């Protein structure tokens, strides 16, 4: 089989172009990344949640987490606001209804699985990975335990095994990565929910569904899908009947993906690396020259004095 | 056999001279009983058991760190303050070797030693804080998180530590009498200084840039897109002030080691360093206000944390700036030294504010360090001081080695 240059170029062109077309990332990926198109998501309708904590129990079971200190049937946990920790990747909190007479509102919390995760951008050993299926997953074999991911996470989700002396790990919701990547697989919490407060599916369809519910039920929901655009958007979306800041959500996070905040600084690094050596070595050369000139002037002066 | 007999005493006398300062073992051991050593011993007597507990029982056994507050005293003080206060090594090295301020030569070695030990003990402190400190080389050799500011910090601190070691090596080779090696090492100095200055610029600012990822957690008066510049400029000021402060202590404690010539010029150098620090503080003061203006956070100044911000910026930045100017005008090394202490406290306050006071300022679960965290921090500082003294007593740091006088 022979191949001439023209053929080769043609084939190479097709291969490259085809590669670009097949690539799930748009060409201007570094400017704007709208997220993996086929990624999954989950929609939580807080108006449906009854606070039964079945999701917590299911999560505990599939992740082989230690048995809870307080049983999953015990409602006393609602007396204070909890956050996910190393023993529980998801927690349900209860908030009083601002409407007098309204029933309390239950809100499940877990990792939001951001489109552009702050934790992943913060990790100095790339222990976090954003998968095309949406899950942000963690590799404990790389983690050195600096806990910068926990500083960076705008939702304060990652937790640490502070009492583990030899193999401490960052713990957080995995979006049941192993389950959802199998055909028909659901996250354990969504499967366990008896009232279908959690809908699992393609994120693109879930945002549509969320807005359909808002428009179909005027007055029922606030006009916002939390998680759709917060910090660049994530895969977990929320609907609520009362403003989100009443339900423990941070509403001042903005829509800028967090990795953007350090991009400018990291971009300046090569500039410093390129300009500083020239500046510093230049200063060194100038100071050497100054010395040399001063020395010759000195000797000239001495010679003049000697000759006069 | 006879040869061995002849060699044995030489080795022993070498050991005696290099390690025991020319004293016999028993003399040396007796000389160790001093008030400072007794206090240091007591600190270690508490610090060592706490260290053992930390590494056998985990972080929870000795710290108040939590999921909400993952960084505490060890990152805030041991790492952030340690790195800032050790900036004197690069600042003085750059001034003398690159900008040609040759008359400051006598403070280079103490500054480089302070810098090297400062960074070394920063890494020690970091090892207490890391969940798996034995994986410290991972970002260098195993997995690269190139989008992380922390990745840059890790690499730079490692490289910079090596640079400072190279810069200090001439002193070690003079101590051991390795003339040829010293010649080679001295040639590396300019290169190491250039490289060190680049690395310092980047990682000092990078420590500030770490907090760029926490806009929702750090109070807006401290959070600013300029925070890398704040950290860099304030580190230069902190480094210069530490050189003044460390010089003051060295001249009291090790005064027998210091040449007459050095004693005479020391006050003049102190005033000169004060002048540089005053300029640095003034630009830092202006930058802090540019930060407030950029975020348009004027309304926050009249809140409790706003008042605290004003205390930091006026009493610990502007006041020392004026005091330095006053000391320079009156050519008073005393005023400059006092101001250096105030400035160092101010920079420590800033790092504590950024990492603890203004961090998570609006959450319910606030962090305050447990006593064992203080014990570890104090233990690390004590071991650092002991190491500094051990080296200064043996190597030509504060004085010029008589064999190499002609080379300066």
State the ipTM, two decimals. Answer: 0.90
CB neighbour list of residue A294: distance below 8 Å, 6 or more residues apart? none
Handedness of CA A248, A253, A254, A258 (dihedral sign): negative
**Domain identity same for A54 and A200:** yes
Q: Which residue has better confidence, B87 or A22?
A: B87
**Domain identity same for A274 and A139:** no
Q: Name the residue range of residue A280's domain.
A: 261-288
Pairing of strands A170-171, A159-160: antiparallel
A86 touches chain B (CB under 8 A): yes
- The secondary element (H helix, E strand) that includes residue B218 is none
**Domain identity same for A209 and A266:** no
**Domain identity same for A250 and A271:** no
Q: Is the pLDDT assigned to residue A21 strictly greater than 70?
A: no
pLDDT tier at B403, thresholds 50, 70, 90? confident
**Domain identity same for A207 and A272:** no
Alpha-carbon span B224 to B215, nearest angstrom: 8
Residue A156, in any domain of the structure: yes
Q: What percent of chain A has pLDDT over 70?
A: 89
Domain of A57, CATH number, reads 3.30.70.20
Q: What's the pLDDT at A29?
A: 41
Q: What percent of chain B has pLDDT over 70?
A: 96
Pairing of strands A236-239, A136-138: unpaired
Instruction: Judge whether A90 and A109 are in contact, CB under 8 Å.
Output: yes
Q: What's the rounded mean pLDDT across residues A91-100?
A: 92
Alpha-carbon span A76 to A61, nearest angstrom: 21
Residue A169, in any domain of the structure: yes
Q: Is the pLDDT assigned to residue A204 strictly greater than 70?
A: yes
CB pairs under 8 A between A and B: 175
Residue A107, in any domain of the structure: yes
Q: Is the pLDDT assigned to residue B19 strictly greater than 50?
A: yes
Q: What's the rounded mean pLDDT across residues B166-173?
A: 91
**Domain identity same for A53 and A173:** yes
The number of distinct structural domains making up chain A is 2
Question: How many Cα atoms sit within 13 Å of A177 on the Cβ side?
Answer: 16
Helix or strand or coil: residue A249? coil
How far does the CA of residue A40 sit from the closest CA of chain B (Å)? 25
pLDDT tier at A12, thresholds 50, 70, 90? very low
CATH 1.20.1630.10 fits B64-369, yes or no: yes
Handedness of CA B265, B270, B276, B282 (dihedral sign): negative
- The predicted-structure confidence for B323-382, as pLDDT tens digits, reads as follows 999 999 999 999 999 999 999 999 999 999 999 999 999 998 899 999 999 999 999 999
**Domain identity same for A96 and A191:** yes
Residue A4, in any domain of the structure: no
**Domain identity same for A274 and A228:** no
**Domain identity same for A86 and A153:** yes
Q: What's the rounded mean pLDDT across residues B19-33?
A: 81
pTM to 2 decimal places: 0.89
Place of tokens 């160790």: B32
B408 touches chain A (CB under 8 A): no
Pick the residue of A114, A118, A165, A287 with the most B CBs within 10 A to test the interface with B by mutation: A165
Residue A72, in any domain of the structure: yes
**Domain identity same for A39 and A109:** yes
Helix or strand or coil: residue B75? helix
Instruction: Judge whether B151 and A124 are in contact, CB under 8 Å.
Output: yes
Exposed/middle/buried for residue B181 (C-beta within 10 Å: 0-12, 13-18, 19+): middle
Pick the residue of A123, A144, A156 with the most B CBs within 10 A to test the interface with B by mutation: A144
Q: What are the boundaries of each domain within chain B?
A: 64-369
Q: Which residue of A has its CA nearest to B199?
A: A273
**Domain identity same for A265 and A216:** no
CB neighbour list of residue B76: distance below 8 Å, 6 or more residues apart? B351, B352, B354, B355, B356
- The predicted-structure confidence for B73-118, as pLDDT tens digits, reads as follows 999 999 999 999 999 888 999 999 898 888 888 888 899 999 999 9
Q: What share of chain B is helix, strand, coil (3-state, %, to 5)?
A: 80, 0, 20
**Domain identity same for A283 and A145:** no
Question: How many Cα atoms sit within 13 Å of A128 on the Cβ side?
Answer: 34
How far does the CA of residue B186 sit from the closest CA of chain A (Å)? 15
Handedness of CA B72, B73, B79, B80 (dihedral sign): positive
Residue A225, in any domain of the structure: yes
Residue A302, in any domain of the structure: no
pLDDT tier at A32, thresholds 50, 70, 90? low
Instruction: Judge whether A146 and A126 are in contact, CB under 8 Å.
Output: no
A273 touches chain B (CB under 8 A): yes
B128 touches chain A (CB under 8 A): no
Contact B100 A280 (CB under 8 A): no
């Amino acid at each position: 089989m022979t191949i001439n240059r023209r053929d080769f170029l043609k084939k190479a062109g097709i291969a490259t172009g085809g590669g670009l077309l097949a690539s799930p990332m748009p060409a201007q990926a570094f400017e704007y990344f709208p997220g993996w198109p086929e990624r999954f998501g989950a929609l939580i309708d807080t108006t449906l949640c009854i606070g039964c904590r079945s999701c917590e129990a299911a999560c505990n079971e599939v992740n082989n987490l230690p048995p809870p200190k307080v049983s999953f049937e015990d409602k006393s946990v609602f007396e204070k606001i909890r956050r996910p920790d190393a023993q529980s990747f998801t927690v349900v909190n209860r908030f009083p209804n601002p409407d007098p007479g309204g029933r309390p509102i239950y809100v499940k919390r877990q990792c939001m699985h951001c489109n552009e995760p702050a934790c992943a951008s913060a990790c100095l050993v790339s222990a976090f990975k954003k998968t095309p299926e949406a899950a942000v997953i963690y590799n404990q074999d790389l983690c050195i335990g600096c806990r910068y991911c926990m500083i960076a996470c705008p939702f304060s989700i990652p937790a640490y095994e502070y009492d583990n002396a030899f193999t401490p790990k960052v713990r957080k919701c995995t979006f049941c990565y192993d389950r959802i990547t199998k055909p028909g697989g659901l996250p354990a919490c969504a499967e366990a929910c008896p009232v279908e407060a959690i809908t699992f599916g393609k994120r693109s369809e879930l945002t549509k569904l969320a807005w359909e519910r808002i428009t179909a039920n005027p007055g029922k929901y606030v006009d916002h899908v939390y998680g759709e655009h917060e910090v660049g958007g994530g895969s977990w979306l929320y609907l609520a009947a009362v403003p989100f800041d009443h339900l423990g959500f941070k509403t001042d996070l903005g829509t800028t993906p967090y990795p953007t905040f350090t991009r400018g600084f990291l971009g300046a690094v090569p500039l410093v690396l390129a300009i500083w050596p020239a500046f510093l070595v230049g200063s060194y050369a100038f100071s050497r020259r100054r010395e040399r000139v001063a020395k010759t002037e000195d000797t000239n002066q001495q010679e003049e004095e000697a000759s006069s | 056999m006879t040869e061995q007999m002849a060699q044995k005493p030489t080795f022993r006398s070498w050991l005696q001279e290099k390690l025991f300062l020319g004293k016999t073992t028993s003399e040396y051991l007796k000389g160790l009983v001093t008030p400072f050593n007794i206090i240091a011993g007591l600190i270690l007597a508490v610090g060592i058991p706490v260290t053992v507990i930390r590494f056998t029982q985990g972080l929870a056994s000795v710290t108040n760190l939590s999921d909400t507050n993952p960084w505490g005293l060890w990152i805030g003080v041991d790492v952030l303050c340690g790195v800032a206060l050790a900036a004197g090594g690069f600042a003085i090295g750059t001034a003398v070797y690159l900008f040609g301020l040759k008359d400051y030569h006598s403070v280079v070695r103490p500054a480089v030693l302070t810098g090297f030990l400062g960074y070394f003990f920063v890494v020690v402190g970091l090892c207490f804080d890391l969940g798996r400190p034995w994986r410290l080389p991972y970002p260098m050799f195993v997995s690269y998180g190139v989008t992380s500011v922390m990745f840059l910090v890790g690499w730079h601190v490692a490289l910079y530590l090596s640079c400072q070691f190279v810069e200090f090596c001439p002193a070690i080779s003079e101590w051991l009498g390795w003339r040829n090696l010293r010649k080679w090492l001295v040639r590396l100095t300019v290169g190491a200084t250039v490289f060190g200055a680049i690395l310092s610029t980047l990682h000092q600012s990078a420590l500030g840039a770490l907090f760029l990822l926490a806009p929702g957690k750090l109070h807006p008066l401290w959070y600013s897109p300029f925070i890398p510049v704040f950290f860099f400029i304030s580190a230069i000021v902190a480094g210069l002030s530490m050189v003044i402060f460390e010089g003051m202590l060295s001249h009291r404690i090790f005064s027998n080691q210091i040449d007459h010539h050095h004693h005479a010029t020391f006050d003049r150098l102190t005033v000169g360093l004060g002048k540089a620090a005053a300029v640095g503080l003034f630009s830092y003061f202006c930058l802090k206000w540019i930060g407030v203006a950029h975020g348009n956070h004027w309304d926050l100044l009249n809140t409790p944390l706003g008042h605290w911000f004003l205390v930091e910026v006026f009493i610990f930045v502007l006041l020392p700036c004026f005091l330095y100017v006053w000391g320079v005008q009156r050519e008073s090394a005393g005023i400059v030294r006092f101001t250096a202490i105030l400035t160092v406290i101010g920079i420590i306050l800033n790092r504590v504010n950024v990492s603890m006071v203004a961090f998570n300022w609006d959450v319910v679960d606030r962090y305050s360090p447990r006593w064992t965290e203080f014990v570890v921090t104090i233990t690390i500082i004590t071991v650092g001081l002991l190491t500094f003294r051990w080296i200064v007593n043996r190597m030509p740091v504060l004085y010029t080695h008589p064999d190499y006088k002609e080379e300066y």
